[in-house]
């Protein structure tokens, strides 16, 4: 079923907002920022776009009411107090982008401050769905929960009112309240007077002695149930918009998180879109984490005037938001550490190569090479494709360079290829074979000369008919007609006793891998950059490490030169 959804507001000018773009999540949008950043103005603009008095597609009047008999429209006087001095005609221009459920098409319009009667009023202009008069609102039910709902209970005109729908669905109201507040209330009472509300309470107290937080929770749940009532009664229901100013007011931290979880579920059930403002670090941080995981469903819009004019800070991390809202700097706390990331290989040869690449690299301390576990490329890729968390999110799979083809065109975020174009055992053979006999490498205290090397590698040389001063292993394997599997021949060479003595030597003059790294700086640095990007992605997506924390703890590389 098509539904109406607000997509974007481009606020060219209105009060403190100039050239500000606000994008909305399909379900929940949390607008946050310090005082004076016009958070509530964004709610007011969103409320002003819609009315619910006529279905223009069918040219029929709409008379549906909320549970407490309120309309599904917010009057501009409820969300804007117009300043005669500053809010003059022409001082507001807002470009609107939305999906209109009644036409099932993208739609646009403008909201402008225009003279109506004796004072300016926000008016929708150029409604792209309208025929004839384009100065009309879009049809969509809206409930705006302003700060008026926090009017102290003790100061209210306050009386019991039995709302029919609430009486029939009282247990559902109690259930939702208990879920939100983690309570065990057993009764519910509707109230009227200064404002309409409902509260759940226990046996030993009633509606007259509930807290402001319980009353706030009741009004939010009453709004949700009003949309449920509308969905049941209106055959052409296209969803609804719930706007909540300072949603966290009166709610303790756990209830704030519970509120977001509940609202997300009800968005699915009732095709709702919810936009709220908040100053609560707990609520904002949870919403931010959800927006990183479900980018279309949930959005965090952080407004800041730290750098002059109010602007939306795109892609700010929670650490940056927290620092700005608390007016402090980002500091990596003493003792803060990053997780150690497992790194898997196809074989010991790959692990040895990786160890040389990581030698003396600061990034090494964040790795945990799993040298005792070796699987084939296809096995690792299958585990990733099956979304096994250890391999698809929480670790890095370091594949041989010749596996470029199996991963080509696929977005394996935890896979990185070793340098070169050959498997490690073939790569190191070719590299050493092509070093001349008088090269400094062969003049080592171990007396591992080129003759010792060619003797240790005799099976490879004979099997693939390698001769002369230079070898092209890829070419020799391509023309090989023998019965042996090339990889097994090279593995036997690599695992030979003499060659293993060389590999196990930690010193650069003797270790062939360290010598390769030193003499191939471009390929080595390219690998290190790709590995750094991969490990940061794993920390962020697999372990929810904040990007600012990654920056603060400085995952650095030491360039090979």
Same domain, 45 and 132: yes
| Rounded-to-integer distance, Cα 226 and Cα 437, Å | 86
510-543: string of b/e by CB count within 10 Å (b at 16+)?
bbbbbbbbeebeebbbebbeebbebbbebbbbbe
Last residue of a domain, one of 216, 243, 268: 216
> Are 365 and 506 contained in the same domain?
yes
Q: Is residue 145 part of a domain?
A: yes
Q: Which of 123, 156, 148 is nearest to 137 (CA)?
A: 123
Q: pLDDT value at position 315?
A: 59
Question: Residues 201, 239: one domain?
Answer: no
Tell me the C-alpha distance between 254 and 242, whole Å.
22
Q: Which tokens hold the place of 448?
A: 């591992």
pLDDT in tens, 264-319: 999 999 999 999 999 888 898 888 888 888 889 999 999 988 777 899 986 576 66
Please say which residue of 299, 325, 351 terminates a domain: 325
Which among 231, 247, 245, 165 has a CA at the least distance from the CA of 198? 165
* Residue at 410 is within a domain: yes
Which phi and psi (to 5°) does residue 211 adopt? Answer: -85, 165
In a domain, 225, yes or no: no
Give residue-wise pLDDT tens across range 270-283: 999 999 999 888 89
Which stretches in the chain have pLDDT values below 70? 314-315, 317-319, 328-337, 505-509, 546-557, 561
Identify whether 436 is part of a domain: yes
Any domain includes 546: no
Range of the domain at 276: 5-149+235-325
What is residue 540's predicted lDDT score, i.e. its pLDDT? 83
Q: Evaluate whether residue 532 is within a structural domain.
A: no
Structure tokens given for 487: 């990889």
Query: Distance (Å, rounded) from C-alpha 151 to C-alpha 193?
Result: 11
174: left (phi over 0), alpha (psi -120 to 50) or beta: alpha
Q: Are residues 30 and 52 in the same domain?
A: yes
Does residue 136 sit in the same domain as residue 171? no
Say yes or no: 271 and 300 in one domain. yes
Are residues 320 and 440 part of one domain? no
My answer on whether 177 and 203 are in the same domain is yes
Domain count, the chain: 3
pLDDT at position 506 is: 55
Measured at the CA of 249, the angle between CA 206 and CA 224, to 5 degrees, comes to 70
466 plus 356 within the same structural domain = yes
Q: In this structure, are 185 and 141 located in the same domain?
A: no
For residue 384, tell me if it sits in a domain.
yes
From 182, 216, 250, the end of a domain falls on: 216
82: domain CATH number is: 3.40.50.300
pLDDT of residue 117: 74
Decide if 403 is inside a domain. yes
């Amino acid at each position: 079923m098509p539904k109406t959804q607000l997509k974007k507001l481009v606020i060219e000018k209105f009060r403190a907002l100039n050239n500000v773009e606000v994008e909305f999540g399909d379900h929940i949008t949390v607008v946050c920022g310090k005082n004076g950043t016009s958070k509530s103005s964004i709610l007011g603009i969103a409320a002003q776009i819609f009315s619910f008095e006529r279905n223009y597609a069918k040219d029929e009047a709409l008379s549906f009411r909320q549970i407490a008999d309120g309309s599904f429209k917010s009057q501009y006087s409820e969300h804007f107090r117009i300043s005669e001095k500053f809010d003059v005609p022409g001082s507001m221009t807002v470009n609107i982008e939305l999906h209109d459920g009644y036409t099932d098409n993208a739609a646009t319009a403008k909201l402008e401050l225009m003279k109506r009667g004796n004072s300016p009023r926000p008016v929708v202009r150029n409604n792209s769905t309208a025929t004839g008069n384009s100065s009309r609102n879009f049809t969509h039910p809206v409930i705006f929960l302003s700060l008026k709902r926090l009017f102290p209970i003790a100061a209210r005109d306050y009386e019991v009112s039995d709302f029919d729908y609430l009486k029939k669905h009282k247990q559902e109201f109690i259930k939702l309240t208990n879920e939100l507040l983690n309570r065990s209330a057993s009764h519910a009472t509707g109230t009227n007077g200064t404002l309409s509300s409902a509260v759940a309470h226990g046996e030993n107290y009633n509606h007259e002695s509930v807290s402001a937080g319980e009353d706030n929770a009741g009004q939010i749940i009453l709004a949700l149930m009003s949309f449920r009532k509308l969905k049941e009664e209106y055959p052409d229901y296209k969803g609804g918009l719930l706007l909540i100013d300072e949603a966290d007011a009166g709610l303790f931290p756990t209830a704030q998180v519970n509120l977001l979880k509940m609202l997300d579920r009800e968005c699915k059930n009732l095709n709702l879109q919810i936009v709220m403002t908040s100053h609560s670090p707990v609520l904002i941080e949870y919403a931010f984490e959800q927006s990183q995981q479900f980018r279309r469903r949930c959005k965090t819009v952080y407004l800041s005037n730290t750098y002059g004019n109010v602007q939306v800070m795109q892609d700010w991390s929670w650490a940056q938001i927290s620092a700005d809202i608390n007016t402090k700097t980002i500091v990596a706390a003493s003792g803060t550490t990053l997780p150690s990331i497992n790194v898997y290989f196809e074989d010991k040869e790959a692990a040895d190569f990786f160890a040389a690449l990581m030698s003396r690299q600061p990034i090494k301390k964040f790795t945990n090479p799993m040298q005792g576990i070796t699987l084939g490329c296809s096995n690792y890729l299958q585990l990733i494709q099956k979304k096994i968390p250890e391999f698809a999110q929480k670790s890095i799979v370091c594949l041989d360079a010749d596996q470029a083809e199996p991963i080509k065109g696929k977005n394996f975020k935890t896979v990185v290829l070793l340098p070169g174009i050959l498997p490690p055992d073939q790569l190191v053979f070719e590299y050493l074979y092509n070093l001349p006999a008088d090269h400094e490498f062969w003049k080592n205290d171990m007396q591992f000369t080129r003759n010792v090397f060619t003797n240790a590698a005799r099976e490879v040389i004979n099997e693939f008919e390698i001769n002369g001063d230079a070898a092209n292993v890829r070419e020799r394997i391509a023309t090989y007609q023998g019965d042996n599997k090339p990889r097994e021949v090279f593995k036997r060479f690599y695992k030979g006793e003499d060659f293993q003595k060389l590999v196990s030597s930690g010193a650069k003059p003797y270790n062939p891998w360290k010598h390769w790294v030193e003499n191939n700086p471009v390929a080595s640095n390219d690998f290190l950059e790709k590995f750094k990007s991969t490990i940061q992605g794993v920390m962020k997506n697999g372990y929810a490490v904040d990007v600012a924390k990654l920056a603060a703890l400085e995952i650095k590389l030491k360039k090979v030169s």
